[in-house]
């Protein structure tokens, strides 16, 4: 298994792939010459091409750079996972044996001395060897995917379990609800988009009425009376390209953090010690662990002998 080496940084990758003469905006690489006028990006192109052509080239270059960098990060992640798996398979039993020997040595020392401090250390050493129960084992029957059941939470906090409060909407709430249901019923829609809008609105009305929330029903009535919110004018092609560049830059920053975390982790640090022959590194660590096991066994035998 070979280690591909350090993941190239986004900045170095981008500097090799994007065209010269580019500037930055919001952390994204953009062509030089972009200006802010009246809140809109104005890009002047050299030659007779469309103004967005240079932005499109910058986007394509940034996309390609991101793809290559993402491949490098994913390759390194797989290498770290594979090495971690091998590390656990080959060295895990040795680490477990060392922990068991440490616990036995501490227990033998505590039995010989009777010192409370030695007894405490022995208990801690044994606790490190015992498997830790999972959350489901600790709270079996007390929780599901949504968390603790109300009864379980009440028992843990020594509070009585409260039955669900019965809601009786006021006369005004019932009046508002009926008016909204008549006006906004989905069956009154002629088009599918309008029907979907009405269904979403009626869902909110039903929820407010179920809670007896008269104030919210009034707000919903005012909202319906105001009519649908007009759709915003879509972004210009240049604005879409700028937004794409900014997203690509943010994506690269996120990947850089992932790469840094992998490199600075315990397994990544071990891979850096032997990038060309990580298997040999495992063999060297195994030899060291075997020597430590032999030392612990001899120490335990001396205490028990």
- Residue 305 confidence (pLDDT) above 60: yes
Distance CA(244)–CA(301), nearest Å, equals 68
Distance CA(262)–CA(7), nearest Å, equals 10
Long-range contacts of 208-211 (CB under 8 A, 24+ apart): 209/169, 209/173, 209/174, 209/177, 210/167, 211/167
- Residue 11 confidence (pLDDT) above 60: no
DSSP assignment of 122-156: HHHHHHHHSPPPPHHHHTTTTEETTEE-HHHHHHH
Q: What pLDDT is stored for residue 90 in this prediction? A: 84
Return the ∠ at Cα 244 (arms to 48 and 11), rounded to 5°.
95
Return the ∠ at Cα 156 (arms to 154 and 161), rounded to 5°.
10
Instruction: Identify which has the larger pLDDT, 301 or 230.
Output: 301
pLDDT digits (tens, 9 = 90+) for 228-268: 877 667 788 888 899 999 999 999 999 999 999 998 888 88
Q: What pLDDT is stored for residue 81 in this prediction? A: 87
Q: What pLDDT is stored for residue 131 in this prediction? A: 66
- Residue 2 confidence (pLDDT) above 60: no
Distance CA(207)–CA(172), nearest Å, equals 16
- Residue 215 confidence (pLDDT) above 90: yes
Q: What pLDDT is stored for residue 160 in this prediction? A: 60
Q: What pLDDT is stored for residue 33 in this prediction? A: 39
pLDDT digits (tens, 9 = 90+) for 135-187: 455 455 555 555 555 655 555 565 665 554 555 788 898 899 999 989 998 88
Mean pLDDT of the chain: 77
DSSP assignment of 249-269: HHHHHHHHHHHHHHHHSHHHH
Instruction: Identify which has the larger pLDDT, 304 or 11.
Output: 304
What share of residues in the chain are helix, strand, coil (percent, to 5)? 70, 5, 25
Using an 8 Å Cβ cutoff, are 289 and 94 in contact? yes
Q: What pLDDT is stored for residue 295 in this prediction? A: 93
**Any idea which of 25-34, 149-158, 173-182, 192-201 has the lowest mean pLDDT?**
25-34
Q: What pLDDT is stored for residue 162 in this prediction? A: 56
Using an 8 Å Cβ cutoff, are 127 and 103 in contact? no
- Residue 44 confidence (pLDDT) above 80: no
- Residue 204 confidence (pLDDT) above 90: yes
- 80 phi and psi angles, rounded to 5 deg: -65, -45
């Amino acid at each position: 298994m070979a280690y591909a080496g350090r993941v190239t940084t986004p900045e170095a990758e981008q500097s090799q792939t994007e065209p010269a003469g580019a500037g930055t905006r919001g952390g994204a690489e953009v062509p030089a010459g972009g200006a802010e006028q009246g809140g809109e990006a104005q890009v002047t192109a050299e030659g007779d091409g469309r103004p967005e052509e240079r932005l499109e080239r910058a986007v394509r270059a940034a996309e390609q750079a991101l793809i290559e960098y993402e491949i490098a990060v994913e390759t390194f992640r797989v290498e770290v996972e594979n090495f971690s798996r091998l590390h656990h398979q080959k060295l895990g039993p040795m680490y477990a044996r060392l922990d068991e020997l440490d616990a036995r040595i501490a227990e033998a020392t505590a039995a010989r001395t009777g010192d409370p401090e030695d007894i405490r250390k022995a208990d801690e050493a044994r606790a490190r060897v015992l498997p830790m129960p999972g959350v489901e084992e600790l709270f079996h029957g007390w929780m599901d995917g949504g968390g603790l059941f109300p009864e379980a939470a009440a028992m843990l906090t020594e509070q009585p379990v409260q039955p669900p409060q019965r809601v009786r909407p006021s006369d005004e709430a019932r009046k508002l609800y009926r008016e909204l249901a008549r006006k906004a019923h989905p069956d009154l829609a002629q088009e599918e988009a309008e029907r979907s809008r009405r269904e979403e609105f009626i869902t909110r009305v039903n929820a407010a009425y179920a809670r007896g929330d008269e104030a919210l029903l009034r707000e919903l009535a005012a909202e319906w009376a105001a009519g649908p919110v007009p759709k915003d004018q879509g972004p210009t092609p240049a604005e879409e390209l700028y937004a794409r560049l900014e997203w690509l830059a943010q994506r690269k920053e996120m990947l850089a953090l992932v790469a840094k975390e992998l490199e600075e982790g315990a397994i990544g640090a071990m891979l850096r010690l032997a990038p060309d022959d990580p298997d040999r590194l495992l063999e060297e660590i195994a030899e060291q662990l075997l020597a430590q096991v032999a030392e612990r066994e001899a120490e335990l035998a001396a205490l028990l002998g």
